[in-house]
Amino acid sequence: MALTDLDALLNQMTLEEQVSLLSGEDFWSLPEIKRLGIGKLRVTDGPNGARGGGSLIGGVKSASFPVGIALGATWNRDLVSEIGGALAAEVKSKGAHMLLAPTVNIHRSVTNGRNFECYSEDPILTAELATAYITGLQAEGVGATIKHFAGNESEIERTTISSDVDERALREVYLIPFEWAVKKGETWGVMTAYNKLNGTFASENEWLLTTVLREQWGHEGLVMSDWFGSHSTAETVNAGLDLEMPGPPRDRGEALVEAVKTGAVPEQTLRERVGTVLAVMQRTGALDDHREFIEHADDREEHRALIRRAGAEATVLLKNDGILPLTATGKIAVIGPNAKTAQIMGGGSAQLNPHYRISPFEGLATALGEGRLSYAHGATNYRYEPLLTGAFEVDYFANTDLSGEPVHTETQEDGQAFWAGYVGAGKVDPKHFSARMRHRYEAQQTGAHRVGLFSAGLSRLYVDGVLVADAWSHWTAGHTFFEQGCDEVIGMVDLEKGKSYEIVIEFATGQEGTLGIAAMRSGIGVPLGREAIDAAAEIAGEADTAIVFVGRNGEWDSEGSDLPDITLPGRQDELIEAVASANPRTIVVLQTGGPVEMPWLERVSAVLEAWYPGQEAGNAIADVLTGAAEPGGRLPQTFPVKWLDNPAHSQNREVYPGQDGHVRYAEGVFIGYRHYDKHGIAPLFPFGFGLSYTQFALSDPAVDETRFEADGSATVSVTVENTGSRPGSTVVQLYVGEDTPVLERPEKELKAFAKVRLDAGARTVVQLPLDARAFASFDKGGWRVHAGGYTVRVGTSAADLPLSAALHRDSNLDLPL
């Protein structure tokens, strides 16, 4: 169907049919209109994969790609675009037309639970990579849905809090990735944030959705709410929100029909909203898609290879005393909680059921031979007790008191559940039911065990008929399940190794929260003590090299809650100290969604930050450790020495984490490296930093400023040479500073960069173009390049900028919004 037919199609639609396309029919799709041959638009969660229409737990398997901060660490537009194209294939394998990605909120603090899902602390790096991701995805006919627009830089009270941000900080920092996504990437979708922006919910913020997004930037795609993130009828439609998700309708449907009839929503406004949805359906092929809905697992070799390559390129080498790459011989002690557990993704809506998981131990065993390796667990890093695994028989009841006969019985594979939409084979109301789960558990050790339980809804756990964990009697809202669940309740029970015990968990839906979630998770574990650390130190002392795999996991780096601090969880710091004391040839491999404090840094020989690199995690990490691949990553976020150094840390709770329903961005534009520059704080590792297995030299900076006075543009060139003995890559970074700023401005701001790969001894000239916006600040309601001098600095991190050049303009230059 041609684009010109959409007006005719709209003319054929009844009011009720038009309204039906402005709300989801179910969790992941819009309703079809058979009378007019209009198909069903389907969406799926991202951004590090395409989960499909299943629950957050289980479901059809999908490829797990590196998370957002890992892609940010690559600084590689071409690679991110390639991943976007691969994700389009994944979306199609799940029968969907749009991917709910990328996530581009800025790393304002180091404790945001969702930093792992976002690219960077810097707006230009984020915007460049987001545009590449969108371009790669949409080139294959799959729509991007950039999120979360705007001001969602924390997970604390995120569904209700107001992010209070001045317009200059919004324009110069937080809105830039969205602006580029619209103007350069031509994104087909934008998702609004849960939070309020300056007192108004993002989903009904007319200034944000209409004035800025559509009128100033020219967005032609659709705007949808985050799931359960819209709260009104006429207000959202009139403000510019096209689509309320998920379905069935809450504030639309009959309420919107009535609003149009009474004039609360003008008919022309409704027509514009529906026309936008139809246009995106046409672009994605959904308008004429009448195929049977089928999801399938598409485990492609080319995706495996891409994920492995991207994981290595994302890895940042933070320290290396010459121990890396590993030598071809020698015994290696492999130690730590992340050694035999593949930490491949963060938590929340970004999680999926991967095709497989390769742990670091498995990757090293394949690369080096298992005979060279010894192993010790050493310490734990879980936030919640280890998940109860094995079959559970589940009885469902069409009431909330487990009374009468069950209406359905089924089996689930472990002790967690996330119920949404179709529950109990459709025989219970997902908002009003109860369930009883039974499992036989065989103890692996003798002694005291910790039993953990948390739920969105009421739950309790029995061991052989004895109530051990009670999240029912005094349920209180906490930080689990997107802040809709309680905090973990812990009970203790003595168990005997080899003996089998009956585990019974009872669940009932409770008072419905903002997101309407029903969920539970149960776990059981035995705490590790000092003896486990001593055992790890012992095998380290017997080896030629010790590698300690530590960090966090998707329980810590997760949507729904921020981190309590940036220390390594549990006794991992103690473990590293003990291993380094036993063997000075100790390598630390971190897997986190952001910075951690490193009190042991001076006592280890090497440190790698590997993030959460997807299903090929262990192979990608092994490639870097052995030198089969180089560590291609550079930090997309400053690593501070300590938590209180970071921009959002404040004695004033209104600045962070928020107070009385408001969080005030008091630092303005001074976030990330800009903050450290302003306050003279030396970071542990600066933004943009990363070592290579070779060396590079930058020289001969030159500036072409022939058009600088006329239109504010310039081009900077620099020579890059690989002066080392092996091929490698570096990231040339260009920062701009105004010499005598009219407004208070950062000392320098990243405005251009280039990923350069060279053979040993090779050299090249890199061109770094700068448009007028690279020099502009947001002044009195518009963009202005002020008259005066500017300095461009070029180097390989925010703290290593050896080359510079000066520019000057005689007049002010005002730019369009």
Query: Read out DSSP for 168-192?
Result: HHIIIIISHHHHHHHHTS--SEEEE
Query: How far apart are the C-alpha atoms of 729 and 570, rounded to whole Å?
Result: 36
The residues that are catalytic are 226
> Coil, strand, or helix at residue 362?
helix
Q: How many residues does the chain have?
A: 817
Same domain, yes or no: 401 and 517? yes
Q: Is the peptide bond before 337 cis (omega within 30 degrees of 0)?
A: no
pLDDT of residue 4: 55
Q: Specify whether the CB–CB gap between 461 and 451 falls below 8 A.
A: yes
> Coil, strand, or helix at residue 455?
strand
201, 203, 347 from 299: Cα distances, Å: 40, 37, 22
> Any idea what the CATH number is for the domain that residue 716 is in?
2.60.40.10
> Any idea what the CATH number is for the domain that residue 339 is in?
3.40.50.1700
pLDDT of residue 650: 82
Same domain, yes or no: 602 and 728? no
> Residue 595 belongs to what domain range?
301-380+529-679
Q: With respect to residue 227, please indicate whether it lies within any of the assigned structural domains.
A: yes
Same domain, yes or no: 253 and 350? no
Q: Which domain-ending residue is among 473, 505, 525?
A: 525
pLDDT of residue 665: 98
Q: With respect to residue 685, please indicate whether it lies within any of the assigned structural domains.
A: no
Same domain, yes or no: 251 and 154? yes
Same domain, yes or no: 562 and 632? yes
Query: How far apart are the C-alpha atoms of 527 and 549, rounded to whole Å?
Result: 19
Same domain, yes or no: 137 and 238? yes
Same domain, yes or no: 703 and 566? no
Q: With respect to residue 254, please indicate whether it lies within any of the assigned structural domains.
A: yes
Q: Please give the DSSP secondary-structure letter assigned to residue 83.
A: H
Same domain, yes or no: 435 and 356? no
Of 191, 192, 180, residue with least CA distance to 218: 180
Query: How far apart are the C-alpha atoms of 594 and 360, rounded to whole Å?
Result: 19
Say how many domains are in the chain: 4
> Any idea what the CATH number is for the domain that residue 10 is in?
3.20.20.300
Same domain, yes or no: 606 and 575? yes
Q: With respect to residue 355, please indicate whether it lies within any of the assigned structural domains.
A: yes
Q: Specify whether the CB–CB gap between 701 and 716 falls below 8 A.
A: yes
Same domain, yes or no: 157 and 113? yes
Q: With respect to residue 645, please indicate whether it lies within any of the assigned structural domains.
A: yes
Q: With respect to residue 71, please indicate whether it lies within any of the assigned structural domains.
A: yes
Of 788, 669, 680, residue with least CA distance to 739: 788
Per run of 10 residues, the mean pLDDT along the chain (length 817 residues) is: 75 97 96 96 95 79 97 98 98 97 98 97 98 98 98 95 98 98 98 98 98 98 97 98 96 98 98 98 96 94 98 98 95 98 94 96 98 97 94 96 96 90 88 96 94 96 97 92 92 96 96 79 92 97 98 94 96 98 98 98 98 98 98 98 92 94 98 97 98 98 97 98 97 98 97 98 98 97 98 98 97 96
Q: Please give the DSSP secondary-structure letter assigned to residue 23.
A: B
- Residue in the block written with tokens 């094995």: 390
Same domain, yes or no: 519 and 536? no
319, 382, 432, 545, 713 from 604: Cα distances, Å: 9, 24, 55, 11, 46
User: What pairing do the DSSP bridges indicate for beta strands 43-45 and 98-100?
Assistant: parallel
pLDDT of residue 202: 98
User: What pairing do the DSSP bridges indicate for beta strands 803-809 and 777-779?
Assistant: unpaired
User: What pairing do the DSSP bridges indicate for beta strands 43-45 and 143-149?
Assistant: unpaired
pLDDT of residue 1: 41
Query: How far apart are the C-alpha atoms of 634 and 596, rounded to whole Å?
Result: 16
- The DSSP element (H or E) to which 484 belongs, if any, is none
> Any idea what the CATH number is for the domain that residue 434 is in?
2.60.120.260
Q: Which domain-ending residue is among 525, 540, 563?
A: 525
Same domain, yes or no: 432 and 366? no
Query: How far apart are the C-alpha atoms of 469 and 488, rounded to whole Å?
Result: 9
pLDDT of residue 605: 98
Q: With respect to residue 585, please indicate whether it lies within any of the assigned structural domains.
A: yes
Q: Which domain-ending residue is among 228, 255, 286?
A: 286
Q: With respect to residue 688, please indicate whether it lies within any of the assigned structural domains.
A: no
